[in-house]
Amino acid sequence: MVKRILTLIMALLVTFSYAQSRPGSVKGTVKDKRTGEVIPFATVIVKDKDVVLVTGTTDFDGKFNISPVNAGNYNLTCMFIGYADFNLNGVTVYSGKPKVVNFDMTIESTMITEVTVTAQENLIETGKTSDIVSAEEIKNLPYRNLSQIVGTTAGVFQQDGSGSFNVRGA
């Protein structure tokens, strides 16, 4: 009898410890504070102090769902171009439960003083292809029609019966 009770207690402890180890999640909506419009594709960052743990992006409806997030206290940051970063510190995530956090973003304009554009050449030079055919070679060809002669050139495809041809698929 004692053995059965101990087995039952151990099974319950294992079940409760498993329930405590399930991660939670952070979900919510990102909106424009002034208009109430949702902001699609905003970035939401979950940080432990200053270390980024996980990031997420809002969908077309401004909603996000970041999981898994282990139970604990976190700092959240929401950012989007043209809006001031929104920081929430001390957000508590509980095991196995979603934490709902909504962000109301305010517009922030920034004056860009300088833009640097950097360009570089391709590492692989795509050379021009050409084919020179002499008059003697043309005389030796079995064709007498110009479109048939052009069709013998590499990269040129002639459609049968149409009289037109394509050069490298163009």
Q: Which domains does the chain have, with CATH numbers?
A: 23-105 (2.60.40.1120)
Query: At residue 111, does pLDDT exceed 90?
Result: no
pTM score: 0.55
pLDDT of the residue at 136: 82
Query: At residue 125, does pLDDT exceed 70?
Result: no
Angle at 34 between CA 31 and CA 39, to 5 degrees: 25
Would you place residue 110 in the very low, low, confident or very high pLDDT band (cuts 50, 70, 90)?
A: confident
pLDDT of the residue at 95: 92
Would you place residue 131 in the very low, low, confident or very high pLDDT band (cuts 50, 70, 90)?
A: low
Would you place residue 141 in the very low, low, confident or very high pLDDT band (cuts 50, 70, 90)?
A: confident
Q: Which helix (H) or strand (E) holds 103?
A: strand 103-105
pLDDT digits (tens, 9 = 90+) for 148-169: 677 667 677 766 666 676 776 5
Query: At residue 140, does pLDDT exceed 90?
Result: no
Cα distances (angstroms) measured from residue 47 to each of 7, 94, 169? 41, 15, 51
pLDDT of the residue at 163: 65
- Kindly give the pairing relationship between strand 24-32 and strand 63-69: antiparallel
Rounded CA-CA distance 151/147 in Å is 6
pLDDT of the residue at 65: 96
pLDDT of the residue at 169: 59
pLDDT of the residue at 133: 72
Rounded CA-CA distance 116/131 in Å is 42
Dihedral over Cα of 54, 58, 59, 63: its sign: positive
